[in-house]
């Protein structure tokens, strides 16, 4: 699989890898009711894709991600700000 997802929390500079499931990505160890940023990274046919969106953590949280194509250097710049 060429796709990974992470959730970042600005206030305490923590990140969590989200595990891929049949329904999407999840992590049962996220801090409840905190707002963070979900980042999805993917490489498809030699093209790099990134999606990002904010989410408040809850047991019922769902999020639709839209990815956009970027160069690897552009993605690295985004990740450096997290």
Q: Is the pLDDT of residue 58 over 90?
A: no
- Residue 66: pLDDT above 70? yes
On the question of pLDDT at 4 being above 90, the answer is yes
Kind and range of the H or E run holding 74: helix 72-80
Tokens found for residue 12: 């305490």
Say if residue 20's pLDDT is above 80. Answer: yes
What is residue 31's DSSP assignment? P
pLDDT at site 59:
82
pLDDT above 70 for 1: no
Confidence check: pLDDT of 81 > 90: no
């Amino acid at each position: 699989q060429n796709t990974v997802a992470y959730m970042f929390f600005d206030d305490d500079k923590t990140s969590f890898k989200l595990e891929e499931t049949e329904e999407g990505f999840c992590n049962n160890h996220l801090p409840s009711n905190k707002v963070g940023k979900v980042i999805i990274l993917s490489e498809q046919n030699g093209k790099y894709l990134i999606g990002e969106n904010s989410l408040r953590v809850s047991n019922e949280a769902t999020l639709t991600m839209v990815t956009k194509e970027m160069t690897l250097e552009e993605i690295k710049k985004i990740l450096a700000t997290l």
